[in-house]
Amino acid sequence: MTIRPILIHPDPRLKKLCEPVATVDADIRRLADDMLATMYDAPGVGLAAPQVGVMRRVFVMDCVKEKDAAPAPMVLINPEITWTSEDLNTYEEGCLSIPEQYAEVTRPAEVRMRWLGLDGQMHEEQFDGLWATCAQHELDHLNGKLFIDYLGPLKRQMITRKMEKLKRERARTAQA
């Protein structure tokens, strides 16, 4: 397993529609393993393939937050929403591609998703709580959408400027 570098917003690859996966092969299994390792290392609760520069419809998540609980890694390939609740939920969201920036986003409180698993089988499950928020946030990544796209233009610009500054600073440190 390899920890892959996470792209930081703004990056054109984070704004693109990702391509479906045709078959679950060795490349996809390696990608999923690397994405889980990268997510746990960060640490984060979700990571989408475009965040590591792979423009395919794959995301991983594990929203178990209790320190001593067993991990529950999930890999969702070609995920689709098949149902959303009318009830909404507001969570303070963050993103590994937008480090240390958080904002409240309102989304359906529960969603049902269908996806292709690493076993090559179709799966369908209903998510609630943080799992529902995370699944929708990650699915958005596969459609080139970030959580800051739900915010007003001023807040979004402010966060984008901070990220541009962060990227300049990181580039300088890398050169030094």
**Shortest reach from residue 39's CB to Zn ion, in Å:** 10
**Shortest reach from residue 95's CB to Zn ion, in Å:** 3
Which distant-in-sequence residues (6+ apart) come within 8 Å of 48 by Cβ? 18, 58, 59, 138, 141, 142
Residue carrying the six token digits 């993103």: 95
Q: Which one-letter amino acid corresponds to residue 20?
A: P
Which one from 100, 104, 138, 169 is the annotated catalytic residue? 138
Which positions from 79 to 98 touch Zn ion by CB under 5 A, shown as an x/- string? ----------------x---
Size of the site for Zn ion (CB under 5 A): 1
Using CB under 5 A as the binding rule, the residues of this chain from 106 to 145 that contact Zn ion are: none
Chain centroid, CA 140 distance in Å:
8
**Shortest reach from residue 169's CB to Zn ion, in Å:** 21
The residue number whose beta carbon is nearest to Zn ion equals 95
Q: Which is nearer to Zn ion, 52 or 95 (CB)?
A: 95
Contact 112, 82 (CB under 8 A): yes
Q: Which is nearer to Zn ion, 93 or 110 (CB)?
A: 93
CA distances from 46 to 137, 139, 144, 161, 173 (A): 8, 10, 16, 24, 27
**DSSP readout, 126-144?**
EE-HHHHHHHHHHHHHHTT
Q: Which is nearer to Zn ion, 95 or 163 (CB)?
A: 95
**Shortest reach from residue 137's CB to Zn ion, in Å:** 6
Q: Which is nearer to Zn ion, 95 or 111 (CB)?
A: 95
Is residue 125 annotated as part of the catalytic site, yes or no?
Answer: no
Using CB under 5 A as the binding rule, the residues of this chain from 15 to 74 that contact Zn ion are: none
**DSSP readout, 40-94?**
HHTT-SEEEGGGGT--BSEEEE-----TTSPP--EEEEEEEEEEE-S-EEEEEEE
Q: In the complex, which residues of this chain contact Zn ion (CB under 5 A)?
A: 95
Active-site positions read 138
